[in-house]
Amino acid sequence: MKKFVIGITGASGSILAKKLIERLVSQGCEVHIVASNSGEKVFEYELGESISSFIKQQTLTASNLYYHDNNNLFASIASGSFKSDGMVILPCSMGTLAKIAHGISDNLLTRAADVMLKEKRALLIMPRETPLSRIHLQNMLALHDSGAQILSPVPAFYHHPTTLEDILNQIVGRVLFTLGLDSDHHHVWQGEPYES
């Protein structure tokens, strides 16, 4: 069973985190969630439900989902001995991104990300900010150079989406594809047909 950590911070885009968690759980992955205080607040503001109620609803039918208190640095995901297949921070605020880029592990979320970097495991950072300042870009470059992947949740249109759901599915599908998982919703560009 593949095992992933999902970090949720106080940037806009909670619906993407929710959809990603649902898709990972449905694929039988073990999912460990940690959210910042702001992440919990934005999740409830944008989706009209708390993270705790969302998780409670999910665990009625799934036993592969775990939620960790962001203040608990004794949690399993804080240790390099906790074997996982990667971590996705979605959405990722610029404050959290800066902390990780500079090795500041002052909570469970940033510590879990630091573990991914030091253990050379997959770390996908999905920042939700625009425009980007020089500081933002420098921090992203520092993370890239440390082994993280910066995957901006930018919609694609070559698959001709007609609904918001189509756009969300494509973005989440791209995350699954990057993690090496199957996704029916990630449309791979096939290119133009060859002419003889």
Residue 67 has pLDDT above 70, yes or no: yes
- Assign 86 to helix, strand or coil: coil
Question: Per-residue pLDDT tens for 126-178?
Answer: 999 999 999 999 999 999 999 999 999 999 898 899 999 999 999 999 999 99
Residue 186 has pLDDT above 80, yes or no: no
Fold observed for domain 3-157: Rossmann fold (3.40.50)
Which pairs count as long-range contacts for 160-166, CB under 8 Å and 24+ apart, including other chains?
none
Domain boundaries, the chain: 3-157
| pLDDT score of 62 | 87
Question: Per-residue pLDDT tens for 76-92?
Answer: 999 999 999 999 999 99
Residues in CB range of 72: below 8 A, 6 or more apart: 78, 108
Question: Per-residue pLDDT tens for 97-115?
Answer: 999 999 999 999 999 999 9
Both structure tokens of 24: 């990972």
Average pLDDT over residues 16-26: 97
| pLDDT score of 139 | 98
Q: Which residue has the higher pLDDT, 188 or 123?
A: 123
Residue 196 has pLDDT above 70, yes or no: no
